[in-house]
Amino acid sequence: MAEEKYNLKNPAVKRILQEVKEMQSNPSDDFMSLPLEENIFEWQFAIRGPSDSEFEGGIYHGRIQLPADYPFQPPSFMLLTPNGRFETQTKICLSISNHHPEHWQPSWSVRTALVALIAFMPTNPNGALGSLDYKKEERHALAIKSREAAPKFGTPERQKLIDEIHEYMLSKAPPVPRLISQEGHSTNQENEPQVSSPSSDGASAAVEVPPNLEGGSQIAEEVPPVVNPIPVVRQLPATDSRPQPLQRPTPNVPKQADDRLFTFAAIGLTIAIVVLLLKKFMKSSGHGPVFMDES
């Protein structure tokens, strides 16, 4: 890229040319981006779908438009390849885009923005502007289709740059792995035998066995070996069938103070009865008044 045809006194131009040199001297396998010869404020890019997602292996092209006061203002982003996460040919809303200039930092660059865009791919759209929420199977199909050809966009100069970037990314991006959906797992597991293992309540619990996968290109979760669990035994009190001798209840032994109190009460009651009987006898015999006068 001939620098003499650009105004090097312009801070934005100077910064953009520095980023172009850095991008060419330190290429990445995850993305590639270059500006147009006729307009260095417009960049074409392609990113590789993030690993361990339905986008893995896909090649997604897009366009970056840098503002005149870059890097003090954020760029705008537009995807050109159908992907199921962002709308195509529509400026998308991200925290690193011109929709949120309050979040942009002048120290960030095109490289920083592309790394962030890859990280945004598998996230929840939450209804953001320019976002889509396709099913994983649909996104996976679009990832396969994205490798077939580069999207058609703009002038012949743009298209030439897009095709060059596409060829580079094809040489770096691994093939799209096969996607195993949850529905596929459940369908296959219904036709497989089940292994019973004892559970804590004595009932047998069915353990589903994943199907045997054919072919080395299919991705499957590693299933740990099934280990027979140790049944839980509830400890119960021991019972003896032999007759047990009857245990007589132990009588409560009264205290010594209670014995004395009971004795005194019995003696007092006896004396009272004797006095009453004596008075009754004397009255009946006629000695009662004499006895009273003498007393």
Catalytic residue among 13, 93, 128, 282: 93
DSSP 56-120: TT-EEEEEEE--TTTTSS--EEEE-S--SSB-BTSB---TTSTT-GGG--TT--HHHHHHHHHHH
Structure tokens at 206: 């069915």
Q: What angle do CA 153, 70, 88 make, to 5 degrees?
A: 25
Structure tokens at 178: 């096969």
> Residue for token digits 């060829």?
167
Whole-angstrom Cα distance, residue 94 to residue 56?
Answer: 21
Residues 33, 49: contact at Cβ < 8 Å? no
Whole-angstrom Cα distance, residue 163 to residue 61?
Answer: 10
Eight-class DSSP state of 29: S
Residues 81, 104: contact at Cβ < 8 Å? no
- Catalytic-residue membership of 148: no
Residues 44, 165: contact at Cβ < 8 Å? yes
Query: At 244, phi and psi to the nearest 5?
Result: -95, 140
Catalytically annotated residues = 93
